[in-house]
Amino acid sequence: MIADESRIPIIKLYGCLIVSIQIELSDSLVASLKDDIGSAIERTDAYGLLIDVSGMQLMDSYISRTIQDIAQMGCLMGVETVIVGMSPAVAMTLAEKWVSCNAPQ
């Protein structure tokens, strides 16, 4: 069950924003996450953004596109984005679908 109001917390640690996605994402949650990260970058003086995707069991085109957007957005706002913890199953699925992974590291 996914509650409509749930949000993903964004934690600031030293100069880094840490976002750990540990639940199944619905589309609206992805969209609000994007907004939240944007305003968090604006509010804080972070220079790094760490997105932990270890809890995600699935990344479809919309979710991966949004994460790519977030990284792009961070880049424009002077924040370096790193994506960590991708499960092999997700990585393999992404690799089979889309070959490129140029934007985020």
Type and span of the H or E element at 81:
strand 80-84
Q: Which is nearer to another protein, 13 or 92 (CB)?
A: 92
Q: How far apart are CA 27 and CA 42, in angstroms?
A: 23
What character string, x for contact with another protein (CB under 8 A) and - otherwise, covers 30-69? ---------------------------xxxxxx-xx--x-
Closest CA to 31 of 58, 65, 79, 54: 65
Task: Considering the complex, state which of residue 32 and residue 44 has its C-beta at the smaller distance from another protein.
Answer: 32
Residue 97 touches another protein, criterion: CB under 8 A: yes
- 23 binding another protein? (CB under 8 A): no
